[in-house]
Amino acid sequence: MSKLVILFTLRMLGLPRWIAQIVMVLILAGGLNHAWSAQIEGRVVGVSDGDTITVLDANKRTTKVRLRGIDAPESKQAFGQVSKRSLSELVYGKMVQVRYDAEDRYGRVLGVVLSGGSDVNLIQVHRGMAWHYKHYQRDQSAAERRDYARAEDDARAASRGLWGDQSPVAPWDFRRSSH
């Protein structure tokens, strides 16, 4: 959302300009990003790969969700199918909550998936099934950045999942080289 749209919206709510500007700065700095996030609840009816699922809500609408803050190996890449199986074990057929505040260029919701109160995105990184996607870490809260980075460091140190490979190729490098 642009700064002008945020400021205009806050002013339309009747907030004085100086309060609207403070709120806008907090939003843009990520201090209030989760307070304004939307949420989807539903059953996972599809797992495309290690970082993309399909959720069916109570109104029988499906939503494609890209797990925010992580990047899993591509399907044709080493560990791609293992990562997909890991995510399937965590969520397929289960009820989940998805916290989100944006969509990607493909129209997928970018969200944090919660199953039984646990952050599935973080679990994928901890298991060594995905990288912490640091290129987009500005979209995460400070606590998420810290937790995801720590989970990746721990998985790497323990040689879990893809980190057991001698030289794992990051998905963004794999995508670049395959096009």
**pLDDT of the chain, 179 residues: tens digit per residue:** 455 555 555 556 666 776 666 666 665 555 444 444 799 999 999 999 999 999 999 999 999 999 999 999 999 999 999 999 999 999 999 999 999 989 999 999 999 999 999 999 999 999 999 999 998 888 889 999 999 999 999 999 999 999 999 999 999 999 998 76
Listed in order, the ranges of the chain carrying CATH 2.40.50.90 are: 38-177
Residue 176 bears catalytic tag:
no
**What does the alpha-carbon distance between residue 63 and residue 108 come to, in Å, rounded to a whole number?**
7
Distance in angstroms (rounded) separating the CA atoms of residues 157 and 91: 26
Catalytic site residue from 41, 68, 105, 108: 108
For residues 25, 30, 34 and 35, what is the CA-based torsion angle, rounded to 10 degrees?
-20
Active-site residue, from 41, 43, 66, 103: 66
Look at the domain 38-177 and name its fold.
OB fold (Dihydrolipoamide Acetyltransferase, E2P) (2.40.50)
pTM of the model: 0.79
Marked catalytic residue, from 68, 74, 144, 152: 74
Q: Is 17 a catalytic residue?
A: no
Percentages (nearest 5) of helix, strand, coil residues in the chain? 40, 25, 30
Is the CB of residue 30 less than 8 Å from the CB of residue 39?
A: no
8 A C-beta contact, residue 171 and residue 71:
yes
Determine whether 66 is an active site residue: yes
Nearest residue to 34 via CA among 102, 96, 81 = 102
